[in-house]
Amino acid sequence: MAGSSLMETLFQRTLDDLIKALRLQLLGESAFISKAMDEIRREIKSTDPQTKSTALQKLSYLSSLHGIDMNWAAFHVVEVMSASRFAQKKIGYLAASQSFHEATPVLLLITNQLRKDLTSTNEFEVSLALDCLSRIATIDLARDLTPEIFTLLSSTKPFVRKKAISVVLRVFGKFPDAVRVCFKRLVENLDSSDPRILSAVVGVFCELTSQDPRSYLPLAPEFYRILADSKNNWVLIKVLKIFKNLAPLEPRLARKIVEPITEHMRRTDAKSLMFECIRTVVTSLSDFESAVKLAVERTREFLVDDDPNLKYLGLHALSILVPKHSWAVLENKEVVIKSLSDVDPNVKLESLRLVMAMVYDNNVAEICRVLVNIAIKSDPEFCNEILGSILATCGENVYEIVIDFDWYVSLLGEMSRIPHCQKGEEIETQLIDIGMRVKDARPTLVMVGRDLLIDPALLGNPFMHRILSAAAWVSGEYVQFSGKPFELLEALLQPRCNLLPPSVRAVYVQSAFKVSVFCLNSYVQEQYVESSLYVDTSTENDSESISTRDCQDASNLREQVETLSRVQTCTSASLEDNGSSIGSIVELLDFIQFSLGPLTWSHDVELLERSRHLLNFIELIRQQIPDGSSEMELAEISKIVELVLDAFSDDFGPISVNAQERVTIPEGLIFKENLDDLEMLCSDTQLPESSFSFGSSLYEERVNSSILSQRSQQESEPSNATTSLLSEHRKRHGLYYLPSDKTDDASNDYPPANELKLQDHLDDDAAHLVKLTERSLALKRKSTSAKPRPVVVRLDEGDELPVTRKKPQSKDEQLSDAVRNVLVGSDVMPISSQTNQSSKPSSRRKGKEKQNADNLSESKENLGDVEEQSNTVDTSSRRTHRRHGKEGKQSSHEKRSEKKDQVHKKGKRMSSQQHSRHKAKQSGDASLPVASQTVIPDFLL
């Protein structure tokens, strides 16, 4: 066996050989890797440690570079980890760190090996174990190895202690109860003079305070000492991050640290430390005006620097200052505006956020104009960032900052035509939403929609379809505000509409239906008005007894004539006026039928159905028009038109975002977690074999009553068969059906989401760009607009964000409770526990453990206001001493007459009271289970 192992080692290919051979493989790399894996699988089973470790080293390389799965070699990794030679052990630990995870079954086998290496005298072996534990530590490993970590936290070797401190963060996260063992020793390392140890422990506390800073407030004196005395920039940066989280919790702490932080800003030349000082000031010390002014001066140095990274940091600091100190942005507005044209994309985005933070209702129009001009000249990505920022800011809180909706609707139309625009979904949503919420903006909406619909060049752009869909819907829904309905109808039915997807074209057809009904109603009403005026005029010549009301009716009719006459005067060249209403109606019907004829061959169900509706309506109107073109048939046409017009008369309103959540679940309706069994349930249901097709002859034949009846008879048979199958399926599987008394009113009137991109060029005049921007960014008082703001429909509950539910306690919260328990409540016991202690001598330790568990759950509720606690520390301590003294005298006086066996209990109670008085000096009020060490009076007073 020894000879075979020696031969395997001699002829085994090393990692260097594998890498060289892999680099020479120009073709067939996968085949070479497959062959190498076969060799590794054979070599890793060897009994020779060197052969096994070399095979594992090659497997680790292939796994990291080519993603080869190495979970199958987990047991071999454990074998190499237990090798006696350090070089082989190192390979095993590297493989474990790389491949082991919480679900690895062999993790239980390495606990003793890790414990052995953690207690080794070789600091390099200890380092290997600590590195591996920091990556693969689980709850079990953290619990079992906490005593060894506790011992290493006080190691005399700085190299080992530094790594042990870093591992503590992972151990605390996996096993929060380790805080009771290791936390105090971790705090003791804050007093270390070794810069490596101090750097490690400050880094750990920086991460811990970012999760729950209130728990670490009692450690503020230690952090302040490091802030004032340390000369290590990295340590100072971490301490500043800690104070950035602690300062908002204690006002006196902010007053204490502002001086050393400003001193660091004045003296340091390190940009990293200076920026951290600036961020701490603008984030947590913004109430100190002198410190803020100094921070703004230092920020100016970042803004004018050529390094884009420093410029970005300066803009980020200004963005934090905007809510409370907007003057800082005004002092640097030139730099901010120039940054919008910077080469670095991050600098441009940060400057854009800074500009949008300065938008108010009195300057929104000017700033948006400047940004649109910049977007036209920008690259596609930044152009869409600008457009998205404008849409998000103006649409925030139901268009709160928008006063002139006519301007904003026009701006949406202008933004739609910007090249590279890809915000079609947002523009479509806002066009429709404004139409439903703001009635005064509907005329402008129809005008903007008409301008978009009549441009045939936009139809060929696939990224414009979402906006065209919204424009078509708005134009059809609010067609009464259109001055040229015939032109609008031509735009909706133009031949180039075949470039649109079926979903968008279906919206076009539905809007054409609404416009055509409006036009027909206008023709009919015009004829009635003219005939009524004629009758009124002849009656006035024959009779002198006209009432005042009749005169008013006549004047109203004349106004209607003037209003309705625009229908014929606005007729385009393709629809010439025939001089009579019947002739105009016939010409309108012919135009619609000619335009919708090809749609009868469409394979899209929704498009086909909507076009059929309009064509059937046209056929119904044609049946009322005889060849003689008599005016007597206008009454029948009027009835049909009015019936259809009433169906479109109701306005759509905004829908609450919480509407679906307010729908109650029907009683008895139970859904499973998934519907995987539906295929099995539906397998026994077979639909009858039938073909459904949409032929072209449906439109060519006249739609009369005989054809309709014949079609209904043909379709009744499959319908009845399908209905019977569905009813049978409902009986079998009623679990998946809603109650029968509910009806589904779901609609799908709008097309799916599409991206946008325009091709039209927009003229740009940027001569006054800088002057306009400076005037726009100047803060003004809220001025009264000459034009009153229109009414915006708001829902009482629908426009609010949904309320988030309370989440269960996470591991971070458990860790915070444990730290708070150790710092402020580990040795303090409530009165109830003090008066009910056991008579056994060993009960003291058990009582402490029980009190620790109680404080862990009650610490959050008992944490009071820090200032109130600090003001009552002295008085509560004196009261506690007097109360315990009185209790001691009374109890001793009462127990004198008791039996002899109760003397021992009295002695234990007296010792308990002495213990409580000792703790009262530290805790303040003994009635609270949490001590008053959450404040730091000696440090701040």
Secondary structure (H, E, C), 828-841: CCCHHHHHCCCCCC
Q: Please, is 842 exposed, middle or buried when counting C-beta atoms within 10 Å of its C-beta (0-12, 13-18, 19+)? A: exposed
Which pLDDT does position 880 carry in this prediction? 39
930 backbone dihedrals φ, ψ, rounded to 5°: -110, 130
pTM for this prediction: 0.65
The answer to which of 200-214, 581-595, 852-866 has the lowest mean pLDDT is: 852-866
Secondary structure string (H, E, C) spanning 629-667: CCHHHHHHHHHHHHHHHHHCCCCCCCCCCCCCCCCCCCC
Total number of residues shown for the chain: 941
Residue 634 falls within a domain, yes or no? yes
- Range 489-492, long-range pairs (CB < 8 A, 24+ positions): 489/515, 489/516, 489/519, 489/588, 489/591, 489/592, 490/572, 490/574, 490/575, 490/591, 491/450, 491/453, 491/454, 492/453
Which pLDDT does position 774 carry in this prediction? 54
Q: Please, is 481 exposed, middle or buried when counting C-beta atoms within 10 Å of its C-beta (0-12, 13-18, 19+)? A: middle
Interacting residues of 662 by C-beta distance below 8 A, sequence separation 6+: 656
Write down which residue in 599, 621, 653 finishes a domain.
653
Residue with tokens 């629908």: 798
What does the alpha-carbon distance between residue 413 and residue 451 come to, in Å, rounded to a whole number? 9
> Measured between alpha carbons, how far is residue 507 from residues 333, 493, 611, 626 in Å?
46, 11, 10, 32
Interacting residues of 932 by C-beta distance below 8 A, sequence separation 6+: 824, 869, 870, 873, 876, 923, 924, 925
Mean pLDDT calculated for residue range 825-854: 40
Find the radius of gyration of the CA atoms of the chain: 41
Higher pLDDT pick, 739 / 229: 229
Structural element, H or E, at residue 420: none
CB atoms within 10 A of CB 386: 27
Position 508 pLDDT exceeds 90: yes
CB atoms within 10 A of CB 690: 9
451, 793 Cβ separation under 8 angstroms = no
Which pLDDT does position 555 carry in this prediction? 47
What does the alpha-carbon distance between residue 536 and residue 57 come to, in Å, rounded to a whole number? 106
Write down which residue in 605, 627, 653 finishes a domain.
653
Residue 207 falls within a domain, yes or no? no
The answer to which of 122-131, 454-463, 629-638 has the lowest mean pLDDT is: 629-638
Query: 340: alpha, beta or left, given left = phi > 0 and alpha = psi -120 to 50?
Result: alpha
Write down which residue in 593, 620, 653 finishes a domain.
653
Position 313 pLDDT exceeds 60: yes
Mean pLDDT calculated for residue range 676-690: 59
Torsion (CA) 451, 434, 441, 761 in degrees, nearest 10: -30
Which pLDDT does position 442 carry in this prediction? 93
Instruction: Report helix angle 502-542 to 581-596, nearest 10.
Output: 180
For 587-643, write each residue's pLDDT tens digit: 888 888 888 888 888 888 888 998 888 888 888 888 877 654 455 567 777 788 888
58, 27 Cβ separation under 8 angstroms = no
Interacting residues of 237 by C-beta distance below 8 A, sequence separation 6+: 272, 273, 276
Mean pLDDT calculated for residue range 552-578: 42
- With H, G, I as helix, E, B as strand and everything else as coil, classify residue 533: helix
CB atoms within 10 A of CB 839: 10
- With H, G, I as helix, E, B as strand and everything else as coil, classify residue 419: strand
Q: Please, is 201 exposed, middle or buried when counting C-beta atoms within 10 Å of its C-beta (0-12, 13-18, 19+)? A: buried
Helices (H), 748-787: 769-777
Position 717 pLDDT exceeds 50: no
Task: Give the model's confidence band at 530: pLDDT under 50 very low, under 70 low, under 90 confident, else very high.
Answer: low
Residue with tokens 């009835």: 639
383, 420 Cβ separation under 8 angstroms = yes
- The DSSP 8-state label assigned to residue 107 in this structure reads G
Which pLDDT does position 528 carry in this prediction? 63
Interacting residues of 784 by C-beta distance below 8 A, sequence separation 6+: none
Which pLDDT does position 831 carry in this prediction? 32
Residue 307 falls within a domain, yes or no? no
Residue 600 falls within a domain, yes or no? yes
Number of domains in the chain: 2
Position 144 pLDDT exceeds 70: yes
Closest CA to 449 of 425, 424, 467, 462: 467
- The DSSP 8-state label assigned to residue 935 in this structure reads S
Residue 9 falls within a domain, yes or no? no
Q: Please, is 879 exposed, middle or buried when counting C-beta atoms within 10 Å of its C-beta (0-12, 13-18, 19+)? A: middle
Containing domain of residue 881, as a range? 826-935
Which pLDDT does position 724 carry in this prediction? 61
Give residue 719's identity as a one-letter amino acid code.
Answer: S
Instruction: Report helix angle 158-174 to 195-211, nearest 10.
Output: 10
Give residue 359's identity as a one-letter amino acid code.
Answer: V
For 772-788, write each residue's pLDDT tens digit: 545 555 544 444 445 68
Which pLDDT does position 677 carry in this prediction? 67
For 722-777, write each residue's pLDDT tens digit: 456 556 655 655 544 555 444 444 343 333 333 333 334 334 443 444 455 455 55
Position 533 pLDDT exceeds 70: no
Which pLDDT does position 24 carry in this prediction? 87
Helices (H), 673-791: 678-682, 697-700, 705-732, 769-777
Residue 915 falls within a domain, yes or no? yes
247, 285 Cβ separation under 8 angstroms = yes
Residue 599 falls within a domain, yes or no? yes
- The DSSP 8-state label assigned to residue 758 in this structure reads B
What does the alpha-carbon distance between residue 633 and residue 613 come to, in Å, rounded to a whole number? 22
Task: Give the model's confidence band at 326: pLDDT under 50 very low, under 70 low, under 90 confident, else very high.
Answer: confident
Task: Give the model's confidence band at 122: pLDDT under 50 very low, under 70 low, under 90 confident, else very high.
Answer: very high
726 backbone dihedrals φ, ψ, rounded to 5°: -65, -40
Give me the residues paired with residue 758 across strands: 419
For 360-415, write each residue's pLDDT tens digit: 888 899 999 999 999 999 999 999 999 999 999 999 989 999 999 999 999 999 99
What does the alpha-carbon distance between residue 61 and residue 21 come to, in Å, rounded to a whole number? 14
636, 621 Cβ separation under 8 angstroms = no
391, 375 Cβ separation under 8 angstroms = no
127, 145 Cβ separation under 8 angstroms = no
Residue 499 falls within a domain, yes or no? yes
What does the alpha-carbon distance between residue 756 and residue 471 come to, in Å, rounded to a whole number? 14
Mean pLDDT calculated for residue range 340-358: 91
